[in-house]
Amino acid sequence: MLIDAHQHFWDIGRLTYSWMPSEPSRLRRNYLPADLQPILETQRFDGSVLVQAHQSLEEARWLLQLSEQNDFIKGVVGWVDLTDPQVGKSLDELQRHPRFKGVRHLVHDEPEPRWLLRPDVLCGLAELAGRGIPFDLLLRPMHLGVVPVLAEKLPGLRMVIDHIAKPSISTGEFDYWARSMEAVFPIPNLYCKLSGMITEASWNDWSASELHPYVSFVMQGFGAGRLMFGSDWPVCLLAGTWKEVLAACTQAMGPQPMELREKILGETAVNFYRLS
């Protein structure tokens, strides 16, 4: 089973998003399941995991509704307020839906670099760990230093780093990112997504060879059993199509045994998110 482990569906009419002035107009439209399904079918992918873009329970409910209407949406990673003492009630509601598979928070937008270690946040994350709900880590290299501390405090929390922690590929940032990433490799419950890379490169002038050092490094550190492909569609359209993202990822990996490729392109995501 091939699974794209990182999708966003945007409905601009339903939810209000904050747009950067530099974002091209091609993202200023609705992106819904009907836009993605033919792409997945053409590329012979069995489904996708839908990941939150807006921090609201309203969006989480809407994404779960979309999963009821579209069988190729195998799982939804939504949002809850981790600082809410009553976060368990929100999780009770979402867990009634069989395709609710995880939680994400936009950590890289928080002004506090150590936001994940705040006592109220740790309480919320402990609730996830106790329920077996995984957590998507959307962060930047500067935040990686808190991940080993978080894993020590909550060893039962399964986590996945989105977008290889968003190094600035366009400026050639590597050493600091690599040192920070190397420190998290030994964490057994930590996974990583090969996603969001072409939008960290120069949008109009990137190549798979430019991505290769980053992909090679995390492949050595995590192994195929803890790596999963993600398109980051439709955000990827800033720099390339869904098909170009897949091609860039596979080319950056280089020649690999079919068993390893199948893990990265689907099996790891199925196991991590416990998809049916």
Q: What is the rounded CA–CA span in Å between residue 78 and residue 88?
A: 14
| pLDDT at residue 27, as a whole number | 72
Q: Is the pLDDT of residue 69 over 60?
A: yes
Number of domains in the chain: 1
pLDDT band of residue 262 (cuts 50, 70, 90) is very high
Query: What would the pLDDT profile of 3-13 be if each residue is shown by its tens digit?
Result: 999 998 877 55
Q: What is the pTM of this model?
A: 0.94
Q: Is the pLDDT of residue 273 over 70?
A: yes
Which one has a higher pLDDT value, 9 or 134? 134
Which one has a higher pLDDT value, 169 or 16? 169
CA atoms within 13 A on the CB side of 197: 32
Domain that holds residue 154: 3-273
For residue 59, the domain's CATH number is: 3.20.20.140
In the chain, the DSSP E strands lie at 3-7, 47-51, 73-78, 100-105, 135-137, 159-161, 190-194, 227-229
Query: What would the pLDDT profile of 149-179 be if each residue is shown by its tens digit?
Result: 999 999 999 999 999 999 999 999 999 999 9
**Within 96-225, where are the H helices?**
119-131, 147-153, 175-182, 208-222
| pLDDT at residue 10, as a whole number | 79
